[in-house]
Amino acid sequence: MPGIAQTLTAAIATLILTACANTHSPLEDYEQVRPGVILDPPEPLASSHPAERVERGRYLVALLGCGNCHTDGSLIGLPNAERILAGSQVGIAWSNPLEDSNPGVVYPSNLTPDPETGIGNWSLQDIVTMLLSGVDSHGSLSLPVMPWLAYSSLLPEDATAIAMYLESLPPVKHRVPDNVGPGRPARTPYIHFGIYRSRHAGPK
């Protein structure tokens, strides 16, 4: 979710894997992409939640830039307007590609209330818990590519407003690929961003 994610993309190198074969140069199979996009969160449907709370949630989703990761194509600068917040076919590698030719990859999930491919079966509290602690509805802790550590400082009422907004979205049926563990080849594109310290620079 950017705002935060937009800041990250300005501060770190973003690379996209274009082939899976091992090569002599660690960057030979990568190209730089420019994922910076501005996305307006979708208009909510009428719901049982208070309209002012839903609108507050929409504002916060825009501020945090959730759509920059959770919108198909947005990670490579080509967002699909029909899938805003509905998950991404482009994944995010979370292990070091310079050491592992097949890094672990996570695919940003569908945040719309579709019951089959999104969060339609999550409770309001499930969404709030995910935002504040990184723990999903199955009790699993999110990987660091989901910046829940930053979101953990959200006021509970703001996290609830976000959850109300997400529950009020039009459901979009869009199943994202399964996450891939390190060492396994990904079958769909992914980008990699991260912060690495050189082992060779600095004080001896």
Token pair, residue 170, equals: 């039009």
Spatial strand order of the sheet with 30-32 comes to 30-32, 14-17, 190-193, 91-93, 105-106
Which residues are registered as beta bridge partners of 141? Answer: 135
Residue 154 confidence class, pLDDT cut points 50, 70, 90: very high
| Four-residue CA torsion sign, 80, 84, 86, 89 | positive
User: pTM value?
Assistant: 0.80
CA nearest 2: which of 33, 32, 36? 36
Q: How far apart are CA 14 and CA 145, in angstroms?
A: 13
pLDDT of residue 203: 59
**Backbone phi and psi for residue 89, each to the nearest 5 degrees, phi listed first:** -75, -15
172 neighbors 83 (Cβ within 8 angstroms): yes
Q: How far apart are CA 108 and CA 85, in angstroms?
A: 9
Comparing 28 with 20, the larger pLDDT belongs to: 28
Strand ranges (DSSP E) for the chain? Answer: 14-17, 30-32, 91-93, 105-106, 190-193
Residue 176 confidence class, pLDDT cut points 50, 70, 90: very high
Q: How far apart are CA 109 and CA 104, in angstroms?
A: 16
Comparing 26 with 137, the larger pLDDT belongs to: 137
How many CB atoms are closer than 10 A to CB 44?
A: 19
Which residues are registered as beta bridge partners of 93? Answer: 105, 192
- For the ranges 4-13, 18-27, 88-97, 115-124, which has the lowest average pLDDT? 4-13
* Average pLDDT over every residue of 60-85: 94
